[in-house]
Amino acid sequence: MIPAAFEYHRPKDLEGVLSVLVEHGDDARVLAGGHSLIPMMKLRMADVEHLIDLQDVAGMSGIAVDGGSVRIGAMTTQNDIITSDALAGAAPIMHEAALQIADPQVRYMGTVGGNVANGDPGNDMPGLMQCLDATFTLVGPDGERTVAAREFYEAAYMTDRDDAEVLTAVSFAAQAGGYAYEKQKRKIGDYATAAAAVLLTKEGGVCTSASIAMTNLSDTPIWSEAAGAALAGTSVDDAAISAAVGAMLGDIDPTEDNRGPIEFKRHAASVVLGRAIARAWSRA
């Protein structure tokens, strides 16, 4: 399985990346960890004439926790997330989710930026970014802009990112309260059959706010505002959890594939969300 020939670029700064992107348009693609793109190129499902390796671009990786805000450079790997003490304190859900992505070898290479920019509904980070209400920073020939993760995904492999833009970082507020990332998969290293990300806060036995997002159950990640609203103001008892699961089922739209028929996926989605809410509540 050898991919088609391409020209390889390894610029040292963002200007270098942008100049190749501008010159070659959609014949050019950036390469981060390569663990989504290279398999597609080997299968000749992705045709890339100009490959721009981001590994030497200065300032694109690293985790910065500054008071209440967290900024993760696009080239930060899943393994960096797992081993970051700062992030374990500021957003432990990132740690819990990263441990459920792929396998150790893939996590050394796969990056946060690649995972969120890829647009594959199977990727775990996009749903997580919905749950965290993250912001993506994009840099293009016309300068820098930010876009809300909840506005970024349009359809499978279609995002708000322009062909000539590079995603440089994801940012979100540090989290207090309960959290859980629960994923059903066929085996380690598999994409989700269904996954749920839950963040919630608790005061005097009452849930004061909740954010819920689902992965691989539609052609985009799904942030279910209604599911979160169903928990707010309750004591997160069985009735509230059922109401949240019911609301979530109204927002997802799974399709049948080799991970199972639609009814099974809806069942798996209900189970993972129920578990995630219970775990998040127990940690709140």
Partner 1 sequence: MSGKKHITMTVNGEAQEFLAEPRELLIHTLRERLNITGPHIGCETSHCGACTVTLDGKSVKSCTVFVAQADGADITTIEGLGNPDSLHVLQEAFKEHHGLQCGFCTPGMITRASKLLEENPSPTEEEVRFGMAGNICRCTGYQNIVKSILAAATEMNAAKEAAE
Ligand X SMILES: Cc1cc2nc3c(=O)[nH]c(=O)nc-3n(C[C@H](O)[C@H](O)[C@H](O)COP(=O)(O)OP(=O)(O)OC[C@H]3O[C@@H](n4cnc5c(N)ncnc54)[C@H](O)[C@@H]3O)c2cc1C
Binding positions for partner 1, rule: CB under 8 A: 1-8, 10, 31, 34-35, 38-39, 41-42, 49, 51, 53, 55, 79, 102-106, 108-109, 188-189
Using CA atoms, how far apart are residues 196 and 194, in angstroms rounded to an integer? 7
* Residue whose CB is less far from partner 1, 124 or 251: 124
Task: Give min distance, CB of 88 to ligand X, in A.
Answer: 19
SS3 of 70, please?
Answer: strand
Q: Which is nearer to ligand X, 36 or 130 (CB)?
A: 36
In the complex, minimum distance from the CB of residue 110 to ligand X, in angstroms, rounded to a whole number: 2
Closest CB 58 distance from ligand X, rounded Å: 14
Residue 91 makes CB contacts below 8 A (sequence gap 6+) with 70, 132, 172, 174, 175, 179
- Is-contact 125 112, C-beta < 8 A? yes
Minimum gap (Å) between residue 79 Cβ and ligand X: 11
Total of chain residues touching ligand X, rule CB under 6 A: 29
Minimal distance in Å, beta carbon 177 to ligand X?
24
Residue type, 254: P
Distance of CA 262 to the CA centre of its chain: 23
Per-residue x/- marks for ligand X, 64-103, CB under 6 A?
Answer: ----------x--------------------------xx-
Smaller CB separation from partner 1, 49 or 133: 49
Work out whether strand 194-203 and strand 178-184 pair parallel, antiparallel, or are unpaired. antiparallel
How far, in Å, CA of 12 to CA of 9, rounded? 10
**Which entry of partner 1, ligand X, none binds 79, CB below 5 to 8 A by partner kind?**
partner 1
Kindly write down the DSSP assignment for every residue of 166-226, as one continuous string. Answer: EEEEEEEE---SEEEEEEE-SSTTPPPSEEEEEEEEEETTEEEEEEEEEESSSSS-EE-HH
Tell me the CA distances in angstroms from 186 to 46, 156, 180, 192, 276, one per residue in order: 26, 22, 20, 8, 18
Least distance in Å: CB of 88 to partner 1?
16
What residue ranges bind ligand X (CB under 6 A)?
Answer: 29-37, 39, 74, 101-102, 106, 109-111, 113-115, 117-118, 123-125, 166-167, 189, 191
